[in-house]
Amino acid sequence: MSEAAADDRTESIRMIRDSAGAIAPRGGDTKRVRALRFTDPGYDAVVLRQMGEMGWIGLRVPEDRGGAGLGLGEACAIVEEMGRALVPEPLVPAMVSAGLLAASGDEALLDRALAGHAYVATAWQEKPDTLAAHGTPDGARSFVPMASGAAAFLLPVREGGRLALRVQEAAGADLVIERTQDGGNVGTLRPRPGALIADDIGAVLDKALDEAALMTAAQILGLMESAFDLTLGYLKTRQQFGRIIGTFQALQHRAADLKVQIALTRASVESAAAALDAGVAGDARRAAVSRAKARAAESGMRVTRECIQLHGGIGYTDEYDVGLYLRACMVLSNRFGSAALHRRRFMATAPEGEE
């Protein structure tokens, strides 16, 4: 990439970040987040439509299919900002479905999904902690994010040796909803026959799930940074024994270690996004994604837990905001594959000698 092209790309990503302020201002709106916790559908449909109007849901969809056709660098930047603000709207799952619909023949549903007028959820997961869509025709689909607010479900189904795509309306669906730690929800769907909209989406789905895992790593990165910023503010103002506690050397060392964890996660996420935008595929793509997701999941849990500890007793109360970040991280760290799964996948796919 030429220097001019690199500068243009940097400016594009900066503008994407700036655009997030309309929905996810830095510092977040925890009052809104708290009001939506443990409710149905668990997110604001108006905000989801705003995301559609701003082109975020179709950010990875080609322009000739109604999307923005931008890269993963831009996608990870916007999702990172969503993580910083603890935005509960299911942007990443909606982007996965938009990509699948763009490869299908259902123009009407694609238009509704891109506009954010309907949240379309992809019900692909049949087993815990996997990144493989088995496509069992009558197999229950679990861990569908924000399923209580879905208007329709996309069902990858194994037919004739290929992974076909069917669509099932949410109305009348055999759906069981469970609450998650952060106040959102996941659904278990018992599929029924639906309209066939694509004959073979296996490769498209594999790529979409890898991209979703990477974007989720970016979302964790955002919430890590926000939790850390909140903690630094506390350390700089809280007094104990007549001194600002941020002047205590032991706490300074712990804070510095967390800063290192965040920096390593950022490097891993941005490196993976650049590799995928450069066109890496196959095992190289899987290794890059898994390294980033494993790093983000482990570091995210470490940073958010330490942030609570650095706040002392107040950090353990639900009324104090720092706990919201830990709860969100507990959900996101396992979505699209846990750290353990991605470590195993990295070891199986990384070039020899790479760590």
Please tell me the predicted confidence (pLDDT) of residue 239: 77
- Residue 297, classed as helix, strand or coil, is helix
- The residue behind tokens 């910023």 is 229
pLDDT at 132 over 80: yes
CATH value at residue 250? 1.20.140.10
Give the whole-angstrom CA distance, residue 50 versus residue 88: 14
Which residues form the domain of 345?
Answer: 204-349
Question: Closest by alpha carbon to 331, among 295, 284, 297?
Answer: 297
Per-residue model confidence as pLDDT tens digits over 270-296:
999 999 999 999 999 999 999 999 999
pLDDT at 11 over 90: no
pLDDT at 208 over 70: yes
Contact 299, 351 (CB under 8 A): no
Give the whole-angstrom CA distance, residue 10 versus residue 12: 5
Residue 344 forms part of a structural domain? yes
pLDDT at 18 over 90: no
Give the whole-angstrom CA distance, residue 2 versus residue 29: 39
Cis peptide before 145 (omega within 30 of 0): no
Q: How many domains does the chain have?
A: 1
Phi, psi of 344 (to 5 degrees): -65, -40
Residue 318 forms part of a structural domain? yes
pLDDT at 353 over 80: no
What is the chain's percent helix, strand, coil content, to nearest 5? 55, 10, 30
Per-residue model confidence as pLDDT tens digits over 251-272:
899 999 999 999 999 999 999 9
Beta bridge partners of 195: 167
Residue 189 forms part of a structural domain? no
The pLDDT of 191-215, averaged and rounded, is 96
Helices (H), 125-201: none
- Residue 157, classed as helix, strand or coil, is strand
Other C-beta atoms closer than 10 Å to the C-beta of 284 total: 16
pLDDT at 2 over 70: no
- The residue behind tokens 């506390």 is 234
Evaluate if pTM is beyond 0.85.
yes
Beta bridge partners of 122: 154
The pLDDT of 126-145, averaged and rounded, is 96
Three-point CA angle 220, 226, 228, nearest 5°: 100
Contact 87, 118 (CB under 8 A): no
Three-point CA angle 262, 346, 337, nearest 5°: 70
Residue 314 forms part of a structural domain? yes
- The residue behind tokens 């190289």 is 284
The pLDDT of 21-39, averaged and rounded, is 86
Per-residue model confidence as pLDDT tens digits over 45-71:
999 999 999 999 999 999 999 999 999
Give the whole-angstrom CA distance, residue 163 versus residue 173: 22
Per-residue model confidence as pLDDT tens digits over 76-116:
999 999 999 999 999 999 999 999 999 998 999 999 999 99
Per-residue model confidence as pLDDT tens digits over 222-237:
999 999 999 999 999 8
Per-residue model confidence as pLDDT tens digits over 304-321:
999 999 999 899 999 999
